[in-house]
Structure 1
Amino acid sequence: MSQDCLFCGIVAGDVPGAKVAETETTYAFMDIQPGSDGHLLVVPKRHSTDLRDIPSADLAEVAIESQRIAKHVFDAWGADGVNLLNCCGEDAWQTVFHFHMHLIPRYRDKTKDRLRLPFEPGVRGDAELIEDLASSMRSALQEG
């Protein structure tokens, strides 16, 4: 863990976050600047700066957990699609330098889907909605 890394702080429980799922090597939580309702992040627990330095085993675990969660967004939230996105480097929109995979549910209903390319983070989401979505995903993952 890196002492000055926001995501390491979330994984450690030192920084608040709406947890969705946790495995031995990964941690998933809701994005507080969501591109769509249900936008979440999957990170390795072990700190890696970006795609260039993440150990392949950690990358595989993040990908596998991203896929597992993605299978549930259709039924749990009524999503019509899903994007997986990794931003590697500042010029690729990476703003937190701890490897992370964005899992972004997509909706035909554009009141739930604000993502347009190019995606520009910065709009803080509704905290209650974020927690509600985290809770519903936790339930869906336990049932499925």
Structure 2
Amino acid sequence: MSEQPPAYDPDNIFAKILRGEMPCFKVYEDDHTLAFMDIMPRTDGHTLIIPKAPSRTLLDARPEDVQHAAVTSQKIAQAAQKAFNADGILFQQSSESAAGQVIFHLHFHIMPRWDGVDLRPPGQKADDDVLEEHAQRIRDALASL
């Protein structure tokens, strides 16, 4: 096993979003979690869920923070599937670089999926108007659940 991972960095982009220092396309917020659109979506409706409590990965998070994030993830998945008439939902979580984690604040991906439609390549920023429209669709679906 490799050496201990670095400590949580309070200046990561998700921590800045939580403090209101960086903008996001908010979908949902409660006392424990925040859900917002991924600005480089792999699918239409690609949403991120983060706990408000700091942790780098799933491995160092408090169990109650994981629980809150899981409950919010289920809620967002149900709304995203409805909002985008998706055939399924891809739920993804990566912990540490070797697993593909890029931003070191625990986060979960909710990606609507359709039969026969591939994921977009990573790293392509979406238009802000599209992201806002997708966020609104999910917020509307949340309100009707």
TM-score by length of 1: 0.89
Q: What do the CA deviations read for 1:99-141 (whole angstroms, capped 9, x no partner)?
A: 000111102363xx534xxxx6211122211110001111221
In 1: Cα distance, 2:13 partner to 2:24 partner: 10
> How large is the Cα RMSD of the aligned pairs?
1.7
State the distance in 1 between where 2:127 and 2:100 align.
22
The number of aligned residues is 138
List gaps (5 residues or longer) in structure 2: 1-7
Aligned residues of 2:17 and 2:24 also touching (Cα < 8 A) = yes
User: Take 2:96 and 2:44, find their aligned partners in 1: how far apart are those partners?
Assistant: 25
Q: Percent identical across equivalent pairs? A: 37
Deviation at 1:12, TM superposition (A): 1.8
What letter is aligned with 1:127? D
User: Which one-letter code corresponds to 1:28 in the other structure?
Assistant: A
Structure 1 gap segments, 5+ residues each: none
The answer to whether the aligner puts 1:58 opposite 2:88 as a matched pair is no
Provide the secondary structure at the position in 1 that maps to 2:130. helix
Contact 2:89 2:113 (C-alpha < 8 Å) held by counterparts:
yes
- What TM-score comes out, normalization by structure 2 length? 0.88
Specify the SS of the correspondent of 1:41.
strand
Cα offset for 1:74? 2.3
Bigger Rg, structure 1 or 2: 2
